Structure 1
Amino acid sequence: MRERSVLAVTPVSDIKSAGVVGGSLGGLFQAVALAELGVDVTVWERSAGRPDDRGAGIVLQPSVAWFLSTFCGVDPDRISVPVTHRQFFSRDGRSHHTLMEQRMISWGAIYASLRDRLDSARYHDGQPVTAVTPRPGGVDVHVGDAVHRVDLAIIADGSASRHRGLVAPDGAPRYAGYVAYRGVIDETELPEGLSAVFRDRFSFYDGDRTQFLCYFIPGDFGATAPGSRRANWVWYVRADAAGLDRITTDRDGTAHGLSLPPGLIAPQVHAELLDRARTLLPEPLRLLVEHTRDPFAQAILDGRVSRMRKDRRLLTGDAAFVVRPHTAASAEKAAADAITLFTALQQLPSLEAALEAWERNRLAEGNALYRHGVGLGQRLGLNSPSSAAAAAGEATP
C-alpha cells in the first residue's frame, strides 16, 4: 500500500459499503476512489490471477494522469513515455512530422498502480458475480453461494458485460465492421536502426480503408529508459462477420468471439497478416509486424446506453459506453466516471442528487465520445455499411 493521498475528503454517510463487479481498470478506478471516501469496498473479478503486463498501449489522458497522481500517489511522468512529434508515413516509407507533445502509458502500468493502491483484502479474483439484485436501501451481490449486502453496486465488467441489461437493456455493443490487430515488441528485439525511426514519435499510416499507428510504451515494471521500453502498434483492418470469426478462432480451433489473446493466433491467419503487411505497409511498419512474436486482435465495437443507473446499481467504463480506440478515451472515460462520482458524493446534499448529477454528466460525455468515434471510423473509410447506417439512424438517448 502506498501512502494515502493528500485529498481532503468527507465520509459519505449514505454509503458505507460498495460492491464492484469487475476488477479491470473501470472497476479499479471506482474502487480506489470510493475507498478514499471511507467506503468499505469489495471488488469481484471473474478472471483468476494478475494479468500479464504485456498488454496494449494507451495514450495518457488528463483524467488518468490526475487520478494516478491524486489517488495513487504515482507520478504519471515516471511510468509513461513522452513523444514530441506526430510522424505520418506515406506508402513509400517517407514521412513528415508535426509538433505534438503527448505521453504514452501501458494498460499494465495503470493496472499495477491501481492494484497497489487498493488493499489486497478488498480484491477477489476468480470469483464471478452471478446476480446483482436490488433491495430496499441497497443491493445484494451474489457470488457463488454467498450473498453480499452492499449500499451501492458498481457494474464494471467491460464491453462484454453480463450485467449491463439489469440497468440498460438497450446497450449491447454492435460490431463496427473492422478489427484491430495489435503487437508489442521489446525495444531490444527491434531490427537495427528501427528504434531511432520511432523514437519520440507517435507514428501513423493512413491507407485505403486502413490505419496503422505505433508508439513506445513502458517496459517491465514501468521502465521508460531508452532500450527498456516496448514498441506498441495497432493496425485497423476491415473484416466482415465471417472474417472476424476466423481471426478470433485460435490455433486449436477454439472460438474466442470478440478478441484473440496474445500467443493464440492461428498459423494461417498469422501468415495472411504478414502477407498483408508486405503488400500494404511502408517498410518500417512492415518490419514491426514481421518481428512481433504474438500479435493479438480485438473486434471494434460501438455501444451506448440510455441510462447508467437503476436504483443503487450503476454502470461504469465499458459496461456503459464502448467507444472506438481512435478516440484514445476508454481509460480516460473510466477514470472520469470515478472522479465525477467521487466529486458528486462529496459535494451534493443527498445520495439521490449525487447519482442523478453523476449520470447526467457521464451520459453526455459518453454520447459525445460515441459519436466522435463513429465519425473517425467513417473518415478513415473503416465503417461497414451496416454499422454506419445503424449509427446514423440512431436517436441520441
Structure 2
Amino acid sequence: MLTVTTPPDISTVGIVGGSLGGLFHAVALTELGLDVHVWERSTGRPDDRGAGIVLQPSVAWFLSEFCGVDADQVSVPVTHRQFFTRTGNVRIMPMRQQMISWGTIYKALRDTLPAERYHDGQPVTALTPTPAAATLHLGSTAHAVDLAIVADGSASLHRGLVAPESASRYAGYVAYRGVIDEADLPQELAACFRDRFSFYDGDRTQFLCYFIPGDFGTTAPGHRRMNWVWYVRADAPELEHITTDRNGIGHGLSLPPGLIAPQVRTDLLTRARSTLPQPLRELVEHTREPFLQAILDARVTRMRNDRLLLTGDAAFVVRPHTAASAEKAAADAITLFHALRQAQSADAALRAWEQLRLAEGAAIYGQGVGLGHRLGLSGMEAPVSTVGRAG
C-alpha cells in the first residue's frame, strides 16, 4: 500500500453518488486518513449481472494499490481481436487485453470501504458550496464538509452548480446490451469467442462482445459470462418507445434488465436476424434479458467551484467506444489523492487537480465523439430534457 500523509485544510469529505466514480474517490481519500462519507440515492447492492468493461491501467493500478486485488485474478484475458463481415467471415489480429465486469470492480471497492461510510437510500437533495467548505442537504438534515465531490453520473442533478452550461445531450443512438452465462451457450458458439474481443461494423451500427468474469468474479472457463454491446441509431420518438417497459412505464434514457417490452424484444430479434452475422445474431437470441442505455455527451469547462468538485460522468460523459468511463473515474481519484498528498494547501491541490483532469476529460470526450461519427452512428443530437428523464 502507499505511504500517505494527511492533506492540509481538509479533514471531512462528502461524496454524492455511490457508484464507481464515488467509490474510487471514497476509497482513495479514506486512505489519506480523511473522514469520508458517501450518500447514494438507490438502496442495496446492485445485481452483479451488469455490463462488462475493458480493464484499463488506472483501474488495474487502483485495485492493486488501494484494494489489494490482483486484477489478473479477476479479469478475463483476450489474446486477439476478431472482425466479422456480414457474411460471417472473420479477420483476426493479435492484441492482448483484459476484460472485467462492472460488478467485480464495484465489489472490490465496496469491500474496501468501511461499511459505516456508505449510506444508501439517502439522496442528496441540495448542495451549498462556500470558499472553504460545502453543505450537503439530505431532506431535513444537513452535513457540513470541507470538500464535496459530485459523482452522481451522466444525468447529474448537481452538475449545474459547477458548470451550468454543460447539460447532457442525447447523441442519437443507443447501446443494447446483453449478458449470458457461458454455461448457457452452445459449446460451438462459445468457442467462436474464446480468447477473442470480437467486432462487427455494419451500416451505421456496431456490435462487439467478449467474456467477462462470472459470479463472485470467477474467471474459470465455463463459468464466465458473455458480454455484448450493440450500437443502434434511434431518434427521440424511437428512444421513448424502446425505453418504455413491459408495464407501460417510461424510463427515459435507459432500460434495466428484465423490463424490455415484448414488441421491442421481437423487433430487436428481427433486426438481429436481418443485419448481424450468424454468431452475433445467436448471442442476441440466447439473451433472456437484454437492456439498453442512451448514448449521451457532456463536456464541462470547469470541474471545481470552491470546495465542490465534479468527477467521473458527472463531469465528462464520454461515449462507450472509448472504453474509458471507469478509467477516467479512477484517474480522477488517483490524481486527487496525489494532489492532496503533495500540495502545501488544499486550494492549490484542487486547482492542480482540475487543470489536469479537464485536459484529460476533454481529450477522451473528443475521441468518443469522433468514433461515433466515423462509425456513422451519431444521429439527430438533442438536449436530454427533450428526450426523457434518466432511468
**Aligning the two structures, in what range does the TM-score lie when normalised by the shorter sequence?**
over 0.9
- SS where residue 234 of structure 1 aligns? strand
Alignment-derived partner of residue 246 in structure 1? 241
- SS where residue 129 of structure 1 aligns? coil
1:192: Cα distance to partner?
3.1
Alignment-derived partner of residue 5 in structure 2? 10
Alignment-derived partner of residue 39 in structure 2? 44
CA distance change for structure 1 residues 385 and 259 in 2, over 3 Å: closer, same or farther? Answer: closer
Q: Give CA deviations for 1:213-245 in whole Å, capped at 9, x if unaligned.
A: 000000000000100000000000000000111
Amino acid in structure 1 at the alignment position of 2:262 = P
- Distance in 2 (CA, whole Å) between partners of 1:135 and 1:278 is 57
- Distance in 2 (CA, whole Å) between partners of 1:261 and 1:287 is 21
Q: Which of 307, 323, 330 matches 1:328?
A: 323
- Distance in 2 (CA, whole Å) between partners of 1:361 and 1:11 is 22
- SS where residue 15 of structure 1 aligns? coil
Q: Give CA deviations for 1:287-334 in whole Å, capped at 9, x if unaligned.
A: 000000000000001111110000100000000000000000000000
Say whether residues 1:70 and 2:65 are aligned partners: yes
Q: Which of 208, 211, 223 matches 1:213?
A: 208
Say whether residues 1:341 and 2:331 are aligned partners: no
Alignment-derived partner of residue 229 in structure 1? 224
1:348: Cα distance to partner?
1.6
- SS where residue 58 of structure 1 aligns? strand
1:386: Cα distance to partner?
4.5
- Distance in 2 (CA, whole Å) between partners of 1:208 and 1:184 is 24
Alignment-derived partner of residue 79 in structure 1? 74
- SS where residue 298 of structure 1 aligns? strand
- SS where residue 322 of structure 1 aligns? coil
- Distance in 1 (CA, whole Å) between partners of 2:308 and 2:9 is 14
Q: Return structure 1 stretches of 4+ with deviation > 6 angstroms.
A: none
- Distance in 1 (CA, whole Å) between partners of 2:27 and 2:162 is 23
- Distance in 1 (CA, whole Å) between partners of 2:195 and 2:241 is 36
Alignment-derived partner of residue 297 in structure 1? 292
1:137: Cα distance to partner?
2.4
- SS where residue 37 of structure 2 aligns? strand
- Distance in 2 (CA, whole Å) between partners of 1:137 and 1:334 is 24
- After superposition, the CA RMSD in angstroms is 0.8
- SS where residue 125 of structure 2 aligns? strand
1:144: Cα distance to partner?
2.1
1:112: Cα distance to partner?
0.2
- Distance in 2 (CA, whole Å) between partners of 1:109 and 1:379 is 32
- SS where residue 200 of structure 2 aligns? strand
Say whether residues 1:310 and 2:332 are aligned partners: no
Check conservation: 2:8, 2:346, Cα contact below 8 A: no
Aligned sequence identity (%): 74
Taking structure 1 as the reference length, what is the TM-score of the superposition?
A: 0.95
Say whether residues 1:175 and 2:164 are aligned partners: no
| Mean Cα deviation higher: 138-147 or 278-287 | 138-147
1:191: Cα distance to partner?
2.0
Alignment-derived partner of residue 155 in structure 1? 150
CA distance change for structure 1 residues 385 and 48 in 2, over 3 Å: closer, same or farther? Answer: closer
1:337: Cα distance to partner?
0.3
Q: What does 1:6-155 align with in structure 2 at a 5 Å threshold? A: 6-135=1-130, 137-155=132-150
- Distance in 2 (CA, whole Å) between partners of 1:197 and 1:51 is 30
- SS where residue 384 of structure 1 aligns? coil
1:134: Cα distance to partner?
2.2
- Distance in 2 (CA, whole Å) between partners of 1:134 and 1:376 is 36
- Distance in 1 (CA, whole Å) between partners of 2:380 and 2:313 is 24
Q: Give CA deviations for 1:148-180 in whole Å, capped at 9, x if unaligned.
A: 111000000000111111111111110000000
- Distance in 2 (CA, whole Å) between partners of 1:304 and 1:120 is 33
- Distance in 1 (CA, whole Å) between partners of 2:89 and 2:240 is 35
List runs of 5+ in structure 2 lacking aligned partners. Answer: 383-391
Taking structure 2 as the reference length, what is the TM-score of the superposition?
A: 0.97
- Distance in 2 (CA, whole Å) between partners of 1:193 and 1:14 is 60
1:385: Cα distance to partner?
4.9
Q: Give CA deviations for 1:274-297 in whole Å, capped at 9, x if unaligned.
A: 000000000000000000000000
Say whether residues 1:379 and 2:374 are aligned partners: yes
List runs of 5+ in structure 1 lacking aligned partners. Answer: 1-5, 388-397
Alignment-derived partner of residue 350 in structure 1? 345
- SS where residue 198 of structure 1 aligns? coil
